């Protein structure tokens, strides 16, 4: 009777579930074992994503792209300046592209308007006067009040001046009218004669011009380019007090 009861109790355990006469717990079902296995592999990846999954690879690519962008930005900021011996913006011209005494048309824009400058306007008048009158005045003239009413301002001034044409082949405008004082002192309005109590000095105007020069190497020989320059042009004379040393 006792033997029959023992066999009945052992029948509740599957075969192979006891060792050395002691019962051992039954094996876990297959679904539970599978879940624990995946959990072990997901321990390092966070958010339940397996290492090597598409989402993990996408995050890796984003990090690599961010690093590459930072490297490129640093290289751009540290880019060296262009060496001074290079002339990337210099435009050269041949003699066939330029008319005699003229600068390139695209350089003569509306903003320049040299024809509005008095030193340019007076050139044709001075050339015509020089052809009519061979002799030039170089001395201080006597002031004649009656004749002065019909003369030009530079002739009836108490610090009179004359104009000469200054010509420079490497400059545009090539010809400019320069004023030259005729008196060291000034003309006394009472006597009409020069007095040294006052001094005649030129009045200057700053004018922008173009300078012609050879193109920098390694351009072909004979080519030229133009640079902007600023010169002081004497446009008249005035009467001032003499300088006195103390």
Residues 6+ apart with CB under 8 A from 203: 179, 234, 235, 236, 237, 238
Reading phi first (left if > 0) and then psi (alpha if -120 to 50, else beta), residue 116 is in: alpha
Q: pLDDT class for 32, splitting at 50, 70, 90?
A: very low
Query: What CA–CA distances, in Å, run from 19 to 30, 53, 92?
Result: 22, 43, 103
User: Could you tell me which of 236, 155, 153 has the C-alpha nearest to residue 200?
Assistant: 236
- 168 pLDDT more than 50: yes
Residue 28 is given by DSSP the state P
User: What's the rounded Cα separation, in Å, for the pair 182 and 143?
Assistant: 12
CA 179 to mean position of chain CA atoms: 37
User: Could you tell me which of 234, 112, 221, 115 has the C-alpha nearest to residue 182?
Assistant: 234
User: What's the rounded Cα separation, in Å, for the pair 104 and 102?
Assistant: 7
Strand partners, 212: 226
All domains in the chain, ordered by first residue: 95-240 (2.10.90.10)
Query: What CA–CA distances, in Å, run from 243 to 18, 138, 160?
Result: 130, 24, 20
Residues 6+ apart with CB under 8 A from 94: 222, 223
User: What's the rounded Cα separation, in Å, for the pair 236 and 154?
Assistant: 7
Q: pLDDT class for 152, splitting at 50, 70, 90?
A: confident
Q: Which pLDDT tens digit goes with each residue over 2-30?
A: 444 444 454 444 444 444 445 555 554 44
* Mean model confidence pLDDT for the chain: 73
Q: Which pLDDT tens digit goes with each residue over 50-109?
A: 555 555 576 777 777 777 777 666 665 554 443 334 445 678 888 777 776 577 766 766
Are 200 and 239 contacting, i.e. CB atoms less than 8 angstroms apart?
yes
Q: Which secondary-structure segment (H or E) carries 164?
A: strand 161-167
DSSP string across 62-120: HHHHHHHHHHHHHHHHTPPPPPTT--TT---B-GGGS-TT---GGGS-TTT-GGGSHHH
């Amino acid at each position: 009777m006792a033997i029959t009861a023992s066999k009945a109790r052992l029948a509740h355990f599957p075969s192979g579930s006891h060792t050395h006469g002691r019962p051992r717990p039954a094996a876990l079902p297959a679904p539970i074992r599978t879940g624990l296995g995946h959990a072990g592999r997901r321990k390092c990846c966070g958010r339940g994503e397996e290492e090597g999954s598409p989402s993990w690879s996408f995050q890796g690519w984003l990090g690599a792209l961010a690093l590459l962008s930072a490297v490129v930005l640093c290289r751009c900021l540290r880019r060296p300046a262009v060496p001074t011996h290079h002339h990337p913006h210099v435009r050269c011209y041949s003699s066939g592209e330029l008319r005699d005494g003229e600068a390139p048309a695209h350089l003569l824009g509306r903003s320049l308007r040299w024809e509005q400058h008095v030193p340019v306007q007076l050139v044709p008048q001075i050339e015509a006067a020089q052809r009519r009158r061979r002799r030039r005045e170089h001395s201080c003239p006597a002031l004649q009040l009656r004749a002065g009413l019909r003369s030009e301002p530079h002739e009836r001034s108490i610090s009179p001046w004359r104009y000469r044409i200054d010509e420079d082949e490497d400059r545009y405008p090539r010809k400019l009218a320069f004023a030259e004082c005729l008196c060291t002192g000034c003309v006394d309005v009472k006597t009409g004669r020069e007095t040294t109590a006052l001094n005649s000095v030129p009045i200057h105007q700053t004018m922008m011009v173009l300078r012609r020069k050879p193109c920098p190497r390694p351009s072909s020989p004979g080519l030229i380019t133009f640079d902007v320059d600023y010169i002081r042009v004497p446009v008249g004379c005035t009467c001032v007090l003499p300088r006195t040393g103390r």
